[in-house]
Amino acid sequence: DGGITQSPKYLFRKEGQNVTLSCEQNLNHDAMYWYRQDPGQGLRLIYYSQIVNDFQKGDIAEGYSVSREKKESFPLTVTSAQKNPTAFYLCASSISLGTEKLFFGSGTQLSVL
Amino acid sequence: QKEVEQNSGPLSVPEGAIASLNCTYSDRVSQSFFWYRQYSGKSPELIMSIYSNGDKEDGRFTAQLNKASQYVSLLIRDSQPSDSATYLCAVNTGNQFYFGTGTSLTVIP
């Protein structure tokens, strides 16, 4: 079945450490997105990519980095510069940027040790 | 002003009643509108999409859109305990999705 796979489901970060969240899709979608969700909050856009080797900052990109070397993969690195990383991270994809439906992965809960 | 605003609730309705969820948006160029359901600790799942003014029905769910008033709503008929979740309103402006903070719904048996 086609879908989006995020891993790990739970991740713990030590102070000063960079951690990478994985996102893989086999839907053949061009556009991919990373969102952050804090308790009781909506989704805030971190980065998005509409094509391989191209990505754009969202509303809260500081302290995060991404790459898009393959169409299927869009990993997110939470750097030590992100001082409040505890949140639920969601990867999503759509056929192309601005098209109708977003498909979501199952999410990664990141916590600070 | 937030792009998409929702009443955060919580909203409580008895089983079998109609639940009404509301959403307003600020960008007049918004093109498409979505309702997602999110259970605690899970990812959002799409339950309704609507693109033109009026009502769209799918089973127990009805989405209503009024572009002149920049207003979109979701009605859930015959509410069930399994409908208890947070409902996110999302708006697509053509190159980006904007989400509301969600409305928490509890259906009381």
**pLDDT tens digits for range B53-88:** 999 999 999 999 999 999 999 999 999 999 999 999
CA torsion through residues B95, B88, A73, A4, sign: negative
Largest CA distance in chain A: 39
A-chain residues within 8 Å CB-CB of B88?
Answer: 42-43
- Nearest CA to B21 among B103, B106, B107, B108? B103
pLDDT of residue B2: 65
What is the token pair recorded at B44? 């959002």
Asked if the C-beta of B82 comes within 8 angstroms of chain A's C-beta atoms, the answer is no
Give the distance from residue B29's alpha carbon to the nearest chain A alpha carbon, in angstroms: 12
- A100 to B49: CB separation less than 8 angstroms, yes or no: yes
For residue B47, the chain A residue with the least C-alpha distance is A101
Cα angle at A107 between A104 and A111, to 5 degrees? Answer: 155
CA atoms within 13 A on the CB side of A28: 1
pLDDT of residue A39: 86
For residue B43, the chain A residue with the least C-alpha distance is A106
A96, A89 Cβ separation under 8 angstroms: no
What is the Cα–Cα distance from A91 to B50, expressed in whole angstroms?
23
Q: Of the ranges B12-16, B28-32, B61-65, which one carries the lowest mean pLDDT score?
A: B28-32
What is the Cα–Cα distance from A66 to A64, expressed in whole angstroms?
7
Query: Mean pLDDT for each 10-residue chunk of chain A (113 residues)?
Result: 90 92 96 92 92 94 97 96 93 82 94 88
- Nearest CA to A33 among A22, A46, A21? A46
pLDDT of residue A41: 80
For residues A85-108, one letter each, b for 16 or more C-beta atoms within 10 angstroms of the residue's C-beta and e for the rest, the string is bebbbbbbbbeebbebebbbbebb
What is the Cα–Cα distance from A73 to A32, expressed in whole angstroms?
9
pLDDT of residue A62: 96
What is the token pair recorded at A108? 């990664």
For residue A4, the chain B residue with the least C-alpha distance is B43
Cα angle at A39 between B7 and B49, to 5 degrees? Answer: 50
pLDDT of residue A6: 97
pLDDT of residue A1: 63
The CA-atom distances, in angstroms, between A105 and each of A90, B26, B37 are: 6, 28, 14
A65, A59 Cβ separation under 8 angstroms: no
